[in-house]
Amino acid sequence: MKLRFAPAPTGFLHVGNARLALVNWLVARRHGGTFLLRLDDTDRERSKPEFAAAIEEDLRWLGLDWDEFLRQSDRLDRYAAAAERLKAAGRLYPCFESEEELRAKRERRLREGRPPVYDREALKMTREQYERALANGKRPYWRFLLSARTIAWRDLVLGERQVRLQAVSDPVLIRADGTPLYTFASVVDDLETGITHVVRGEDHVTNTGIQLDLYEALGGDPAALAFAHLPLLVDAEGGPLSKRLGSVSLRQLRRDGIEPAALAGYLAALGTARDPRPAMPRELVAEFDLAQVSRSPARFDPQQLLALNRRALREAPFEAVRDRLPEGADERFWLAVRGNLDLLAEARVWWEVVRGTIVPPALPGEGEFLRAALDTLPPEPWDETTWSAWTEALRTRTGRSGRALFRPLRLALTGEEHGPDLKTLLPLIGRERAAQRLRSAATSAS
């Protein structure tokens, strides 16, 4: 078994790309197969080295590796050789129509109630007409002559699928500048690198029919190639994801503080009945099965991803985050705050609470209570029993309990309405800072 992930280095990887990369990797690893990373970089104008480097970096961040690697730009001679074979077989023919001419043809066919497919007018061109066009400075682009048949296959996700080739325009395989298009280069690569399974988005179903016809024309056995088309992602309301979140790059998610384990666990479970769990890809191999993927669109909900990220942080050991915490933060601090973080960057806020300077909010009418809190503040050393002993003494002195007791203390000590358990946070703040903040809050409340 051999699978491939083949992004074009024309931008950063987004969540849709990441899902396809992950699924291909999981299938290959579960079945002891080979995973190939292929950069489809034949678009000279849009492909950029910085995007190619970013793709590799982002895939590694997500926890993916690959057994083989290639760039299509290194294989142009292979595409040229394959094109010559198709020309010799009469399956690749030259065309000179401009985009304006093609548009006019499509509009005319639509007015006449016919499908807007290419009319194969270029097949009627004589040798003399072809030579004359070249002499006049024109350069042809090349179309593949599709078979007059219906291509059918059993999709590993969608079930029985078929494409009636007569209803599809002969695809352009070679641009006028001689560079191959995706449809052509991809098939040549899949054939020559021994790809056995192609896992990609449902929007490629028609393209699969075309590619199977081309695969066979190049000498391949279509029966040796299996396809799985994943239904496209939609947003939480069921709308097209591409219009809102589909362009969210892995780079942006990383900057926002999403953990790779949260994203991998979420993407692996999308479209299945399994509850997602934060886990790196290697931990998900044994449980992943393409047969569990639904034929219905999968909903990508940022709130679910954030909840999974919260869970990933709550379970993360100190060593896993140590180098991304504020300087000086130790394991004691991490264990105290990790259960209250949506994103790792929020740890900096709590580091400021326990080691920095904060200004408590105004607490009108609480001056007397806060002075009582200061008077009853226990001497150090402090541990996790200090909070309960202090608040019990304060309850006895003031008669307060519940929210009336705890809220002004939390606000005065942390500046926040909610946060980590104060029995663990208070010893980290220390008596000196706690006293200073209570004094300041009492003064402003008077």
Q: Which of 171-175, 245-249, 256-260, 306-310 has the lowest mean pLDDT?
A: 245-249
The reply to whether 2-71+183-234 and 241-319 are identical in fold is: no
- 105 labelled as ligand-binding? no
pLDDT tens column, 106-136: 999 999 988 899 999 999 999 999 999 999 9
Domain boundaries, the chain: 2-71+183-234, 78-155+159-167, 241-319, 320-355, 367-445
User: In CATH, what is the architecture of 367-445?
Assistant: Orthogonal Bundle (1.10)
Q: What pLDDT shows up at residue 360? A: 87
Q: What pLDDT shows up at residue 442? A: 93
pTM over 0.85: yes
pLDDT at 388 over 90: yes
Q: What is the 3-state secondary structure (H, E, C) of the chain?
A: CEEEECCCCCCCCEHHHHHHHHHHHHHHHHCCCEEEEEECCCCCCCCCHHHHHHHHHHHHHHCCCCCEEEEHHHCHHHHHHHHHHHHHCCCEEEECCCHHHHHHHHHHHHHCCCCCCCCCHHHHCCHHHHHHHHHCCCCCEEEECCCCCEEEEEECCCEEEEEEHHHCCCCEEECCCCCECHHHHHHHHHHHCCCCEEEEEHHHHHHHHHHHHHHHHCCCCHHHCEEEEECCEECCCCCEHHHCCCCCEHHHHHHHCCCHHHHHHHHHHCCCCCCCCCCCHHHHHHHCCHHHCCCCCEECCHHHHHHHHHHHHHHCCHHHHHHHCCCCCCHHHHHHHHHHCCCHHHHHHHHHHHHCCCCCCCCCCCHHHHHHHHHCCCCCCCCCCHHHHHHHHHHHHHCCCHHHHHHHHHHHHHCCCCCCCHHHHHHHHCHHHHHHHHHHHHHHHC
CATH topology of domain 78-155+159-167: Glutamyl-tRNA Synthetase; domain 3 (3.90.800)
Q: What pLDDT shows up at residue 243? A: 42
pLDDT tens column, 289-301: 999 999 999 889 8
CATH for 241-319?
1.10.1160.10
Mean pLDDT over each residue of the chain, to the nearest integer: 94
Segment 75-101 mean pLDDT? 96
pLDDT tens column, 337-374: 999 999 999 999 999 999 999 988 889 999 999 999 99
Instruction: Name the CATH superfamily for 2-71+183-234.
Output: HUPs (3.40.50.620)
Q: What pLDDT shows up at residue 241? A: 65
